[in-house]
A and B are shown apart, each in its own frame.
Chain A
Amino acid sequence: DAGVIQSPRHEVTEMGQEVTLRCKPISGHDYLFWYRQTMMRGLELLIYFNNNVPIDDSGMPEDRFSAKMPNASFSTLKIQPSEPRDSAVYFCASSWGQTIDGYTFGSGTRLTVV
């Protein structure tokens, strides 16, 4: 298995532009998580899905952020409009079941908003 695949690896965009981050989870995993990592706040859970259904989005910072999982093999995290304070590394992780020791993380997307 190729693991959790995230794209792009790096994204540089101008303030106000729409940004879409993509994630392909491991086949057969029923949970998918989106995290954001910054120096100031560390790793924060933004949202997670179970069987393609959003379960908890209380970590999504504001309405500019949205996430979808149209099928078991694909999820997107969208920021519209983007702001410089959104600059961070965004990780996707998937697991079979809920426990943290079952997580497999992707390599992350480094987003820079200028």
Chain B
Amino acid sequence: GDSVTQMEGPVTLSEEAFLTINCTYTATGYPSLFWYVQYPGEGLQLLLKATKADDKGSNKGFEATYRKETTSFHLEKGSVQVSDSAVYFCALTDSGGYQKVTFGTGTKLQVIP
């Protein structure tokens, strides 16, 4: 079945450091890919998405590129802030309508001043 694998956390970075959170997936067909973010005490929020190969999703300085050849959707940000401290979830769903969404286990990011 479909699966998403994320790097284990926590990831601890100093403010203004470069961030990469790795995400790879296994799926049949051509899934759509997503990153969700969960701030402390809150529910998950959509951060960005990409629906086909080579698409780049971006939001709030975060980016991720849909790489079909490596089945990856790594999240990057050039300069993290303390306010980016949260748990980040990679997710996928098949294209062509609703299918069961598969989430990764989440990666906790801690940014220290």
* Interface residue ranges, A against B (CB under 8 Å): 3-4, 39, 41-43, 45, 56, 59, 91, 93, 98-101, 103-108
Contact = CB atoms under 8 A, between A and B. Distances in A.
Interface residues of B, number: 20
Contact of B43 (A56, A93, A100): A93
Interface string B74-113: 0000000000000001010100011011011110000000
Given A43-B89, A98-B98, A100-B101, A107 B43 contact: yes
Contact of B106 (A42, A99, A105, A107): A42
A37 to B, nearest CB: 8
Contacts, number: 46
A56 B100 CA distance: 10
B105 A91 contact: no
Contacts of B100: 45, 56, 59
Given A100-B46, A101-B34, A101-B46, 10 more contacts: A42-B103, A42-B106, A43-B103, A45-B101, A93-B44, A99-B93, A100-B34, A103-B46, A105-B44, A106-B43
